[in-house]
């Protein structure tokens, strides 16, 4: 047994003498326990005593021993002291409910027949580094919370049946249906899809988008930015720029000349070089706030090509009023050729939609809490994909899963335009 890793240290471990203790008057408690129950103290007995202290504090706060009220009071205590010091509530991401306390925990080995602490390690730090790997392993084993609960309709049915049976174990859940529904989702996820026109290569585009997103979040909510940066909130960036580049380069000489780089992710298709793009994003970071005044300044200082969209919008509106369908098609094809190809060429439309369909379907079936962010032509793609998911028979499994996109944020959305 010498040197083997063990689960718990002995109560009198020297390493504990330098640490803030885990429950009130530990030595007095130890002596009284041994008087009442000789030779029954085990390596984990002190852990139960620490838990009892947390329960006692929550009972005093709640003014009752009702389990639901005591659990709610425990959560309201915020950071509490568990067996080895300060700890935080955790578990929703893995188990569907934040009912586990995590903090520092000892690394213990057997030395001369005694369980001794070698060092203290941080469980939250370990989870931050290895959480994705742990979740992937749990998914492979089919042990994630949402894998055992098929959909929210079945959850509500289960809760109703338990309530009808007056099941006493229901008291262990502090807010039965609301809490389960809130924690049913596996992860918070942002799915972002770009708009029309030429784009840099996929890897550059993803770096630019993430940098710009974090800049914007830092202006309004630094905690939200940290969660995205640490991947506590997942970010999927949907890219179809290679399709845009291919269409535009084949129709307009000015685009062909500007697409001087290649994208190794798509058979070296021509794309925009990254010359000046990162510098432009960095310059935007100098704006502490981004209000209407700052927006006007950006338009004055940098090239503004919005007139192309405005021209297409004007012609589209006139054509729609006069029912000039051919004029409408010509205007869209000339001013926004990539958008025109998406609308009028079935193969192009299918190719673009597939780029969003795959990650969105996976996130929906994984029961993620989804925020879909779409810009310009990406709004059209999003609408079409959501329509397919909600109507077409081949996506019945997505509908029956019960999950929905929680938020759909559109930027420069053309769906209200007459021609579209």
pLDDT of residue 325: 52
Domain hosting 95: range is: 5-141
| Three-class SS of 226-273 | HHHHCCCEEEEEECCHHHHHHHHHHHCHHHHHHCCEEEHHHCCEEEEC
Same domain, 25 and 51: yes
Name the helix (H) or strand (E) containing 217: helix 202-220
- Considering only CA atoms, which of 108, 128, 129 is closest in space to residue 120? 108
Cβ atoms of 124 and 101 within 8 Å: the answer is no
pLDDT of residue 95: 80
Q: Is the dihedral of CA 223, 355, 381, 185 positive or negative?
A: negative
pLDDT of residue 13: 77
Does residue 322 sit within a domain? no
pLDDT of residue 153: 46
What 3-state class would DSSP assign to 110? strand
Cβ atoms of 209 and 192 within 8 Å: the answer is yes
Tokens 């779409």, located at residue: 374
- Considering only CA atoms, which of 93, 91, 98 is closest in space to residue 185? 93
What 3-state class would DSSP assign to 219? helix
Does residue 72 sit within a domain? yes
Q: DSSP character for 172?
A: G
Same domain, 113 and 97: yes
| Three-class SS of 292-317 | HHHHHHHHHHCCCCHHHHHHHHHHHH
Between the alpha carbon of residue 319 and those of residues 81, 97, 325, 337, the distances in Å are 70, 55, 7, 17
Q: How far apart are CA 388 and CA 395, in angstroms?
A: 7
Q: How far apart are CA 261 and CA 36, in angstroms?
A: 80
pLDDT of residue 83: 75
pLDDT of residue 185: 52
Does residue 418 sit within a domain? no
- Considering only CA atoms, which of 212, 162, 144 is closest in space to residue 367? 144
Q: Which long-range CB contacts under 8 A does 284-292 form with residues at least 24 apart?
A: 284/212, 284/215, 285/215, 287/219, 288/219, 289/219, 290/216, 290/219
Does residue 320 sit within a domain? no
Q: How far apart are CA 375 and CA 294, in angstroms?
A: 20
Does residue 401 sit within a domain? yes
pLDDT of residue 174: 36
Same domain, 135 and 198: no
Does residue 231 sit within a domain? yes
Same domain, 177 and 194: no
Does residue 327 sit within a domain? no
Q: How far apart are CA 245 and CA 270, in angstroms?
A: 7
Same domain, 202 and 131: no
Q: What is the largest CA-CA distance in the chain?
A: 97
Same domain, 173 and 122: no
Name the helix (H) or strand (E) containing 408: strand 407-411
Tell me, rounded to whole angstroms, the distance of Cα 375 from its chain centroid: 20
Total domains in the chain come to 3
Cβ atoms of 308 and 319 within 8 Å: the answer is no
Does residue 329 sit within a domain? no
Write out the two tokens for 343.
């609308």
pLDDT of residue 166: 40
Tokens 């630019």, located at residue: 208
Same domain, 53 and 200: no
Same domain, 211 and 248: yes
Same domain, 361 and 216: yes
Same domain, 17 and 95: yes
Same domain, 253 and 387: yes
* Residues in CB range of 121: below 8 A, 6 or more apart: 104, 105, 106, 107
Q: How many CA atoms lie within 13 A of 73 on its CB side?
A: 17
Q: How far apart are CA 242 and CA 268, in angstroms?
A: 9
Same domain, 252 and 169: no
pLDDT per residue, tens digit, the chain (420 aa), is 788 888 777 767 777 766 555 566 666 777 788 888 888 877 677 777 778 888 888 899 888 988 888 888 888 877 787 777 788 888 887 887 788 888 888 899 999 888 888 988 899 999 888 888 888 888 877 787 776 664 444 555 544 454 444 443 333 333 443 444 444 456 899 999 999 999 999 999 999 999 999 999 998 899 999 999 988 899 999 999 999 999 988 776 777 788 999 999 999 999 999 988 998 888 888 877 777 888 787 777 766 555 455 555 554 554 454 444 544 455 455 557 888 899 889 999 999 999 999 999 999 988 899 999 999 999 999 999 999 999 998 898 888 888 889 999 999 898 887 666
């Amino acid at each position: 047994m010498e040197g083997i890793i063990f689960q718990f240290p002995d109560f009198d471990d020297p390493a504990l003498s330098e640490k803030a203790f885990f429950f009130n008057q530990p030595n007095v408690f130890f002596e009284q326990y041994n008087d009442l129950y000789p030779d029954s103290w085990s390596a984990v007995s002190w852990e139960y005593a620490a838990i009892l202290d947390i329960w006692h504090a929550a009972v005093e706060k709640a003014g009752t021993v009702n389990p639901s009220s005591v659990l709610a009071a425990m959560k309201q205590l915020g950071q509490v002291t568990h067996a080895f010091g300060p700890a935080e509530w955790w578990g929703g991401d893995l188990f569907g409910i934040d009912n586990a306390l995590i903090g520092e925990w000892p690394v213990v080995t057997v030395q001369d027949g005694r369980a001794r602490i070698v060092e203290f390690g941080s469980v939250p730090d370990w989870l931050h580094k290895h959480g994705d790997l742990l979740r992937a392993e749990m998914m492979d084993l089919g042990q994630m919370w949402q894998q055992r609960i098929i959909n929210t309709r079945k959850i509500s049915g289960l809760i109703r049946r338990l309530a009808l049976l007056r099941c006493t174990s229901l008291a262990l859940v502090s807010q039965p249906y609301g809490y389960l529904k809130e924690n049913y989702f596996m992860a918070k996820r942002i799915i972002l899809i770009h708009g029309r026109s030429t784009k840099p290569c996929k890897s550059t585009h993803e770096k630019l988008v993430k940098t710009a997103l974090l800049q914007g979040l830092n202006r309004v909510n630094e905690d939200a930015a940290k969660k995205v940066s640490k991947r506590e909130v997942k970010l999927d960036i949907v890219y179809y720029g290679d399709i845009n580049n291919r269409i535009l380069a084949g129709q307009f000489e000015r685009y062909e000349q500007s697409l001087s780089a290649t994208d190794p992710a798509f058979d070296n298709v021509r794309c925009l070089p990254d010359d000046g793009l990162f510098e432009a994003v960095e310059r935007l970071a100098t704006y502490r706030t981004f209000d209407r005044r700052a927006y006007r300044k950006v338009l004055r200082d940098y090239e503004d090509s919005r007139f192309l969209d405005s021209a297409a919008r004007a012609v589209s509106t006139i054509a729609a009023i006069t029912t000039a369908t051919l004029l409408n098609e010509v205007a869209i094809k000339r001013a926004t050729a990539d958008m025109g190809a998406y609308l009028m060429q079935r193969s192009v439309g299918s190719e673009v939609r597939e780029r969003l369909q795959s990650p969105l379907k996976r996130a929906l079936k994984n029961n993620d809490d989804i925020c879909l962010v779409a810009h310009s032509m990406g709004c059209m793609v999003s609408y079409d994909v959501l329509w397919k998911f909600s109507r077409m028979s081949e996506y019945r499994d997505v509908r029956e899963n019960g999950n929905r996109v929680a938020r759909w944020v559109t930027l420069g959305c053309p769906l209200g335009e007459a021609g579209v």
